[in-house]
Structure 1
Amino acid sequence: MASSNNQQPSPNTHHNPLFDEFRWVIQIRHSLEEDHDDDIGIPVSIFNVPKPLQLSKPEAYVPQLIALGPYHHWRPELYEMERYKLAAARRTQKHFHSIKLPQLVEQFTKLEHKIRAHYHRYLDFSGETLSWMMAVDASFLREFLQVYAVEEEEEGKALRRLSSRMSHLVDYTGRKSAHNVILRDIMMLENQLPLFLLRKIMELQCSSTDAADEKLAKMVTSLLKELSPFKLMENFPCIDVTQHAHLLELLYCVIVPQSDEQTEDNEIEEQNDDAGAPKEGRQSYGNSGHVKQLFNSVWNVGSTLNGAPVRFIRGIIVSRPVKFVVQLPWKILTGLPGFSILKQPVEYVFSLQGGQENTKVSNPLDASVSRPPLVEEIMIPSVTELISSGVKFSPTNGDLTTIAFDVKTVTFHLPTVSLDVNSDVILRNLVAYEASAAMGPLVFTRYTELMNGIIDTEEDVRLLRERGVVLNRMKSDAQVAKLWNGMSRSVRLTRVPFLDKAIEDANKYHDGRWRVKTGRFMKRYVFGSWQVLTFVAAILLLLLTGLQAFCSVYTCSRWFGGVMNNVQKQN
């Protein structure tokens, strides 16, 4: 009975009717018997989108019209496009020199291990199925890319070559909605095809390998110029298609600066203590000299005044009880009744003052550079707040390395970014690719966090648009604000020196303005705290009572009489 019970399947086991165990065993045995030494060094380049990113907006990572490659090939709603892909394959076959499509499939079958090496996910189907899939999908992608390789005078001829069934999908002017949908689909991370497959097809159509590479480079260069969010890039690089894995990786390498110094010091592992800390938690309090600084400041102001009441108050300040209180440690003093209410306001004022005037005092902004950035939204004021404090914004015709904050001219330099209906999908998939493939700091992700931080409302977008930093080709500024505010947070913490330096300098300038200091102080410790108001009212009442008692003993008119007479004359 025991053995029969052991042979029964577990109630939690679900049999997959589409899974062929016999074919799986054959495929595993065939894979283990082969020795593919030539696939060593081929990095994985086509990944699954990280779950934290995918949950925010799934439709930005899942193709909506056409599937390229194995990840989404069997989805029923996308399989309807198969007839268009087959039509493209037939037209591609006509341009081959004395070979047919099955012969191309045979060549792809010989490269099966190289194709599989590019994909992160295990591809659970035969090599022949994979080869046919790649041949058909690559033929469609080649025909679509030809849209960006024709010259203006050849546009009419190219349109006539298009099938009537394809004409409503492909648009040489880019005005048709289906054309934009295909553009977004072919730039999704999970919908990429290895570029070497396109090179193989082009070699069969061109007279030489160099001619094939030149034509393919022209096609993808025109495509990237159309899709790149940084429209005004100078000296667009010459693209070597042999050095890139797929279209999304190629676009990433064009717009993100490639540094030779990808040191591990720039990469920061996640720390739970800092990740859960509030923004105010970065500042370090507990300085025992705060109370001394407070009394010294009051004494310096009071020493410039004269008169009997001032001398009386000065005598109280230099008395033994007050000197004793000044010598008390700050932590003990704030524990006394009444002084605990003043702890945060005093520390807040002197932490801001010390960060700007005394370089020996630890600056919270400097300390934040050596700490991991918070998972929360990046700490930087909005465009409206920065401009109101005197910051100017200036566009640059370059890549992300042109981002900087000029302290002398108080100017924030940002690259000109052009946004249209395709930008949201492209930006999100670039972030997803960087999170999956980048070995160094997440430069592009940090840039999106910066834009997310400075853009809160459509007013911020309007200000950047008027200054040429944002070229808005969407319906409204509100859509652009929604685009940046909807960008997902980074899947891992990182530090980018030149970006963090610009953020630090902008924060330091903005926080150093007395208008900002006063506004924050009043909002946090006056208007937002009834305890402080009650304490101030009690102090004023105590001072007025003391003044009344003082005037009942001494004649106050001889000190204040002249002042009162002047007030009466003015009235």
Structure 2
Amino acid sequence: MFPKKPTDSSTTQRHSFDEARWVTNVKKSLDAEPQEHPLEQVTVSIFAVPKALMCSHRDSYTPQRVSIGPYHCLKPELHETERYKLMIARKFRNQSKSFRFHDLVENLHPMEVKIRACYHKYITLNDETLLWIMAIDSSFLIEFLKIYSFRKVETLINRVGHNEILRDVMMLENQIPFFVLRKTLEFQLESTESADDLLVSVLTGLCRDLSPLVIKFEDGEILKAQFNEYNHILDFLYQMTVPRIEEEEELDDEEEENRGENRASRFLQEMKLQFKRVFTSRPADIILRLPWRVISNLPGFIALNYLFTRQENEATTTTRQETSSSVLIPDIEKPPLVEELTIPSVTELHKAGVKFKPTSNGNVSTVTFDSNTGHFHLPVINLDINTETVLRNLVAYEASNTSGPLVFTRYTELINGIIDSEEDVRLLREQGVLVSRLKSDEEAAEMWNGMSKSVRLTKVGFLDKTIEDVNRYYTGRWKVKIGRFVEVYMYGSWKIFACFAAVLLLVLVSLQVISLVFSSLRLLGLRTG
């Protein structure tokens, strides 16, 4: 028998304490009645930020002033704001003489298991501690955000620390379940209708102030009817910004299109076989190829051939690459290629004749491109000191909450692709697509260029089609074709021109030297004569 290693008694007690609590929670979950705790309908919605995103910009995901919920509640650097939270919670209590926090905690007690089920990370806090955190934080959050229901946002914007708290409120790891907010407000106002009315007013005001896109909100009654579908405040903003893609309808439409394409392709194949029999004979081949062989040897034909066939060759190469890769990976599961993310900048598109048009609704689904008019439709973007944090946490929430297409992430990649410099920001601002409250256009460009970090590549149908349409329109413009021709055949062959110039200079110098020698010999001959 090997001697047992000495163990720290505190460590042993802590592990046994956590294990005992885990067993207790498991028993409680299994013994709970379905009517009391419908956990089958509860989905995990409050996640830890993926490490790939956390490493890129930690300050955008870690609360700096206030903790909301159990993830960051015990951090020493956030204890300073606890007095502020208690002060606002006390104000929340004083608004009603009959209101007692003990009663609120008792009211939340039946939801304790449901609350734990919303969090992705295992919560080691005991039941009473967790419920008191929910009661204090929900009261603080409601009272802090009530300012938006009275349309007095400007009075608080200049207060010290207000923007920092707003950023913390919108962080993924700093969320509490939406049903806890409703229950707390309902307990205070003693009316479900009044609680829902106030929540609609508070959330719409908050999202108007913090949303990176200008959102057109639906009727208040429609929003109240959808309250059960919202997981938390960040999820509310996400659903207002990102459309719900009906995948089944899209698949049905694609199947119908594929059927029509199959019928057309069969007809074309039959016609192709008939023509092939006629034109593949040797006499016909000689007759058809002779004129083109003569024309191809004429001066200047290479340049024209480049202008007309370069785009077609690029498309053929891309198609071959996609075809070869589709042999191993199905089209549905195949991630997009790096080249598919390439799109010209705003300045390049503007020079090619593209006009940027702001859309009235801030939903991401309004991103379209009209190839006939060259109009690029984009939702209006709001930029301020809170925008980067909100954008990053929306991307993190989407990456954690869905296994489907990352619509909002793809949208940020699109905007990041077209914004490269402060000139791009200036053009978007002048055309009404971007409203910036930052210090300079350079700061706005740096913010978007820092948003390139993503969890994984994804394919989003309508956004990928928009990118493809923009690239096709851009490469098809005569200005772009001529510019590329000059770049390839003029600037690309600078070494040849330099060598030719050097040879020409050498010949001229040699001629000059020879002429000087002959003139010197002539003068010498005259003198000797």
Is the TM-score greater than 0.5? yes
Q: 1:254 aligns with which of 240, 262, 266?
A: 240
The 3-state SS of whatever aligns with 1:149 is helix
The 3-state SS of whatever aligns with 2:68 is coil
What is the match of residue 352 of structure 1? 311
Indicate conservation of the 8 Å contact 1:97/1:204, yes or no: no
2:18 aligned partner, one-letter code = W
1:260 aligned partner, one-letter code = E
Q: Distance in 2 between matches of 1:517 and 1:138?
A: 60
What is the match of residue 98 of structure 2? 98
Q: Distance in 2 between matches of 1:16 and 1:528?
A: 72
Q: Distance in 2 between matches of 1:113 and 1:245?
A: 16
What is the match of residue 403 of structure 1? 367
What is the match of residue 211 of structure 1? 194
Q: 2:392 aligns with which of 385, 405, 428?
A: 428
What is the match of residue 488 of structure 1? 452
Q: 2:175 aligns with which of 192, 214, 218?
A: 192
What is the match of residue 2 of structure 2? 3
Indicate conservation of the 8 Å contact 2:71/2:174, yes or no: yes
The one-character-per-residue Cα deviations of 1:303-339 (angstroms, maximum 9, x if unpaired) are 699xxxxxxxxxxxxxxxxxxxxxxxxxxxxxxxxxx
Q: Distance in 2 between matches of 1:180 and 1:516?
A: 45
Shift of 1:302: 5.2
The 3-state SS of whatever aligns with 2:357 is strand
Shift of 1:57: 0.9
CA gap 1:510/1:437 in 2 versus in 1, 3 angstroms = same
Q: Distance in 1 between matches of 2:469 and 2:82?
A: 54
What is the match of residue 454 of structure 1? 418
The one-character-per-residue Cα deviations of 1:394-451 (angstroms, maximum 9, x if unpaired) are 1111111111110110111111111111111111110110111124211111110000
Indicate conservation of the 8 Å contact 2:148/2:202, yes or no: yes
Q: 1:29 aligns with which of 23, 29, 35?
A: 23
Q: Distance in 2 between matches of 1:516 and 1:366?
A: 24
Structure 1 range deviating more: 74-83 or 234-243: 234-243
Indicate conservation of the 8 Å contact 1:56/1:488, yes or no: no
1:299 aligned partner, one-letter code = V
What is the match of residue 88 of structure 2? 88
The 3-state SS of whatever aligns with 2:107 is helix
CA gap 1:297/1:382 in 2 versus in 1, 3 angstroms = farther
Shift of 1:490: 2.4
2:336 aligned partner, one-letter code = P
Q: Distance in 1 between matches of 2:141 and 2:479?
A: 57
Residue 109, structure 1, aligned to residue 109, structure 2: yes
What is the match of residue 148 of structure 1? 148
Q: Distance in 1 between matches of 2:290 and 2:393?
A: 57
Q: Distance in 1 between matches of 2:359 and 2:99?
A: 50
What is the match of residue 481 of structure 2? 517
More helix by share: 2
The 3-state SS of whatever aligns with 2:213 is coil
Q: Distance in 2 between matches of 1:419 and 1:377?
A: 27
TM-score (structure 1 length as normaliser) = 0.70
Structure 1 range deviating more: 49-58 or 235-244: 235-244
The 3-state SS of whatever aligns with 1:418 is strand
Shift of 1:15: 9.0
| Structure 2 residues without counterparts, runs of 5 or longer | 253-287, 505-529
The 3-state SS of whatever aligns with 1:258 is coil
Residue 20, structure 1, aligned to residue 6, structure 2: no
Q: Distance in 1 between matches of 2:430 and 2:450?
A: 22
Indicate conservation of the 8 Å contact 1:71/1:191, yes or no: yes
Q: Distance in 2 between matches of 1:380 and 1:22?
A: 56
Q: Percent identity?
A: 45
2:180 aligned partner, one-letter code = L
What is the match of residue 567 of structure 1? none
Indicate conservation of the 8 Å contact 2:307/2:481, yes or no: no
The 3-state SS of whatever aligns with 2:382 is strand
Indicate conservation of the 8 Å contact 2:398/2:408, yes or no: yes
What is the match of residue 74 of structure 1? 74
What is the match of residue 565 of structure 1? none
Q: Distance in 2 between matches of 1:487 and 1:265?
A: 31
Shift of 1:351: 4.2
The 3-state SS of whatever aligns with 1:482 is helix
Q: Distance in 1 between matches of 2:95 and 2:119?
A: 29
Shift of 1:132: 1.0
Q: Distance in 2 between matches of 1:529 and 1:133?
A: 70
Q: Distance in 2 between matches of 1:387 and 1:364?
A: 28
Indicate conservation of the 8 Å contact 2:105/2:132, yes or no: yes
What is the match of residue 350 of structure 2? 387
CA gap 1:510/1:210 in 2 versus in 1, 3 angstroms = same
Count of aligned pairs: 448
Residue 300, structure 1, aligned to residue 295, structure 2: yes
Cα-Cα RMSD: 3.7
CA gap 1:182/1:236 in 2 versus in 1, 3 angstroms = farther
Shift of 1:365: 11
Indicate conservation of the 8 Å contact 1:377/1:452, yes or no: no
Indicate conservation of the 8 Å contact 2:307/2:482, yes or no: no
CA gap 1:88/1:297 in 2 versus in 1, 3 angstroms = farther
Shift of 1:242: 3.0
CA gap 1:25/1:498 in 2 versus in 1, 3 angstroms = closer
Q: Distance in 1 between matches of 2:23 and 2:454?
A: 40
The one-character-per-residue Cα deviations of 1:382-403 (angstroms, maximum 9, x if unpaired) are 0111111111111111111111
The 3-state SS of whatever aligns with 1:81 is helix
Q: Distance in 1 between matches of 2:483 and 2:299?
A: 28
What is the match of residue 432 of structure 2? 468
Residue 226, structure 1, aligned to residue 209, structure 2: yes
